[in-house]
Chains A and B, each alone.
Chain A
Amino acid sequence: MTAAAVDPAFRVGDRVRVRRSDPPGHVRTPFYCRGHSGTVERICGRFPNPEELAYGRPGLPPIPLYRVRFLCRDLWPDYAEHPSDVVEIEIFQHWLEPAAAPAAPIGAKR
């Protein structure tokens, strides 16, 4: 049986938060954005799950991949450069949850 394709749950412009999770194994969600909120910049398409591919499994069905734009000052509480600077990161859908309002500030503890 083929698993059904995963539909995009978010649209461009949606506010999303990266799950604060630390699973073992090969993960392509950079640690520094976990728990932080940003805005969907674009939907890249659907791609096999790298967390499965890394162990020789097919990673299917493919999962929507997003580019999420984070303000640097949201990622780093002590960010000292320009307040409008951003980092854009590719994040798979299963790492994202809706963020209705800007997330509570996150301290230095990670």
Chain B
Amino acid sequence: MNTAEAGAQGYYRRLQAAVEELLILKGIVTREAIDAEVAAMEQRSYRRGAQVVARAWVDAQFKARLLADGSAAVREFGFEIGPMHLIVVENTESVHNVIVCTLCSCYPRMLLGMPPDWYKSIEYRSRVVREPRAVLREFGLVLPDAMTIRVHDSSADMRYMVLPRRPAGTAEWSEEALAGLVSREALVGTAVAARHQSDDNSPV
């Protein structure tokens, strides 16, 4: 983060605190309601998205529903996602998807929790639509030259999640073990799902 961004964050933090105080003083919201919402947000994490991906890997019919209507399919898990319109985009052997919000920091928070700082950075937001391979390389992800990259700019009401490819050699793995292979970055498309060195003794 550069100095200007850090300064802006300090400014917005003070602004947010001031508005919060005013809303409470005027009786529009209560401190308890704000705390409850913050607590609910902290409960949400990318592990929800990882569970959804693992289900899609083992259940072809669920995967079809997920790609046809992401919001409806993730509600099958009982996740409270509010009015979120979710589009799930599938990585294949010829297409890699990556998500950004160039205008601000739109992110499927109801499913993945809070966005990481790099996702909100000016650098990521401006460069990933301009030179996606160079950006992905900095994340340690080198894609085959022939692969097409699709960058999804969350510019309005849709939110996005990547359905990564299932790693090879996991045919016998349980859904729960598969979910453990899906990182937050894989759900945004700055990484792929992969087996770790320590996974050689496949957990079933």
A44 to chain B, nearest CB (A): 6
Please name all residues of chain A whose beta carbon is closer than 8 Å to the beta carbon of B85 when the two chains form the complex. Answer: 44-45
Count: A-B pairs, CB below 8 Å: 72
Interface 9-mer from B6-14, B49-57, B142-150, B191-199: B142-150
Is A56 an interface residue, CB under 8 A from the partner? no
User: What are the interface flags for B131-161 relative to A under an 8 Å C-beta threshold, 1 for contact and 0 otherwise?
Assistant: 1111000000000011111111111111000
From B87, B134, B153, B157, contact of A87 by CB (8 A): B153
B47 to chain A, nearest CB (A): 27
In the docked arrangement, what's the CA distance between A92 and B157, Å? 10
Query: Do A90 and B103 contact each other (CB < 8 Å), given the known contacts A82-B148, A85-B149?
Result: no
Q: Are A81 and B153 in contact, CB atoms less than 8 angstroms apart?
A: no
Q: Tell me the residues in window 74-95 of chain A with beta carbons closer than 8 Å to chain B beta carbons.
A: 75-76, 79-82, 84-92
**Minimal Cβ-Cβ distance residue in A for B149:** A85
**Minimal Cβ-Cβ distance residue in B for A69:** B150
Q: Are A82 and B157 in contact, CB atoms less than 8 angstroms apart?
A: no
Q: Are A82 and B156 in contact, CB atoms less than 8 angstroms apart?
A: no
Interface size on B, residues (CB 8 A): 24
Please name all residues of chain B whose beta carbon is closer than 8 Å to the beta carbon of A81 when the two chains form the complex. Answer: 131-134, 149
Query: Do A87 and B151 contact each other (CB < 8 Å), given the known contacts A45-B85, A80-B131, A81-B133?
Result: yes
**Minimal Cβ-Cβ distance residue in B for A88:** B152
Is B31 an interface residue, CB under 8 A from the partner? no
Q: Are A89 and B132 in contact, CB atoms less than 8 angstroms apart?
A: no
Is B183 an interface residue, CB under 8 A from the partner? no
Please name all residues of chain B whose beta carbon is closer than 8 Å to the beta carbon of A29 when the two chains form the complex. Answer: 155
Q: Are A65 and B156 in contact, CB atoms less than 8 angstroms apart?
A: yes
In the docked arrangement, what's the CA distance between A67 and B87, Å? 11
Is B190 an interface residue, CB under 8 A from the partner? no
Query: Looking at A30, A79, A85, which has the most chain B CB atoms within 10 Å of its CB?
Result: A85
Q: Are B156 and A87 in contact, CB atoms less than 8 angstroms apart?
A: no
Please name all residues of chain A whose beta carbon is closer than 8 Å to the beta carbon of B154 when the two chains form the complex. Answer: 90
Q: Are A82 and B155 in contact, CB atoms less than 8 angstroms apart?
A: no
Is A55 an interface residue, CB under 8 A from the partner? no
Which residues does B use to contact A, with CB under 8 Å?
A: 85, 87, 102-103, 129-134, 145-158
Which residues does A use to contact B, with CB under 8 Å?
A: 28-30, 32, 44-45, 47, 50, 65, 67, 72, 75-76, 79-82, 84-92
